[in-house]
Chains A and B, each alone.
Chain A
Amino acid sequence: MHIGPGFLSPPVWMGAAAVSGAALAGSLAVAGRRLDDRKVPLMGVMGAFVFAAQMVNFPVLPGTSGHLGGGFLLGILLGAPLAMIVMASILIVQALVFQDGGIEALGANILVMGVMPAVIGEAVRRLWLRPLGVLADVATFLGGVAAVVLGATAVILMLWVSDSLPGSVGLWRAIGVMDLVHLVIGVVEGAASVAVARYVLKVRRDAVFGEPLAQREGAAA
């Protein structure tokens, strides 16, 4: 879902960069309080994993692929501020090293794949704090779908305001085309988020929630 170079008008990419920049500044300011010796390695490997997972495009509809975003999953496992920092790092590497996404569009890409899904992930995060079983699963799945569809809608809105959609294409039709594809991608994002969140919480619940190691039960890694 990376917006390429030349699709956003200067007011739009500057505005998006300002919002993402403010969110990141806030995240960096509070990050110290949320980091301990267990969260730093978890944050590092989750960042590497999300970068890798984003490379795996899966078929969605005929002639169309999709890939995971990961910001929502990181919001659950790390909380919104750390998730935003990790997603920004990934998106900066993708733009600067792999020409994935325009450099001027970085703020917008961080907004739709980092800031927004991280906030939704944070909202779901607390459901995993207590053993809530199926409720946490369902909320995580739906949250993953919502994170992708909302991000996709935001992309279309930014393209529309940037005058990067032909005049003949109505805004609602554009949102419809974009959101239909991303609904399917969102289903995969939601399911993958449930699976990975379950696994990481099984093996490193102490690192995710900063609980004392003494409360851990079994499980290697």
Chain B
Amino acid sequence: MTTYNRNTLIVGIVAALVVGGVMSYFASSSPDGLEKTQEDLDAAEPRHGGVEAPPVAFHEYSLKCLGEGFWSNAAAGVAGSLLVLGIVLLLGRALRRKDAPTPRA
């Protein structure tokens, strides 16, 4: 791996962990634009059968065993960011053509 790629990974991962693990704790807890619109229009109750994933480890963006709070939110931000990172890196590697040009440096 080139130095550039390693630095990109380090900078990107640190940025994601700071934003997802720390900054997100200070996020607004108001309903988001869609939720607020649905409330205002008296349309917040689902009218169809829907499927929601069971809260296995996380209840929304909180780690279940930690309840609510800073560390619970941080765990969700860190776990989610790293999970996405891992999935996308694996997908990218799998999809990359073997004869694709590689940087020389």
Interface of B: prevailing SS: helix
Q: Pick from A52-60, A115-123, A128-136, A139-147 the stretch touching chain B.
A: A52-60
Report the count of interface residues on B (CB-CB < 8 A): 75
Q: Output the nearest chain B residue to A160 by Cβ-Cβ distance.
A: B43
Per-residue CB contact flags for chain B residues 1-19 toward chain A (1 = under 8 Å, else 0) read 1101101111111011101
Per-residue CB contact flags for chain A residues 24-41 toward chain B (1 = under 8 Å, else 0) read 000010011101111111
**Chain A residues closer than 8 Å to B1, beta-carbon distance:** 37, 41
Q: Are A31 and B95 interface neighbours, CB within 8 A?
A: yes
Per-residue CB contact flags for chain B residues 64-105 toward chain A (1 = under 8 Å, else 0) read 000000000000110111111111110111011100111111
A4 at the interface (CB under 8 A from B): yes
Report the count of interface residues on A (CB-CB < 8 A): 88
Q: Output the nearest chain A residue to B89 by Cβ-Cβ distance.
A: A44
14 A–B contact pairs at CB < 8 A?
A5-B51, A7-B38, A31-B95, A32-B95, A37-B96, A38-B103, A43-B88, A43-B89, A45-B85, A51-B20, A52-B80, A56-B24, A177-B40, A207-B4
Residues of chain A at the chain B interface (Cβ within 8 Å): 1-10, 28, 31-33, 35-53, 55-61, 63-67, 85-86, 89-90, 93-100, 102-105, 152, 155-156, 159, 162-166, 169, 173-174, 177-178, 181-182, 185, 203-204, 206-207, 210, 212-214, 220-221
User: Given A2-B34, A164-B46, A178-B34, 9 more contacts at CB 8 Å?
Assistant: A32-B95, A48-B20, A58-B27, A65-B33, A85-B91, A94-B80, A181-B37, A213-B104, A221-B7
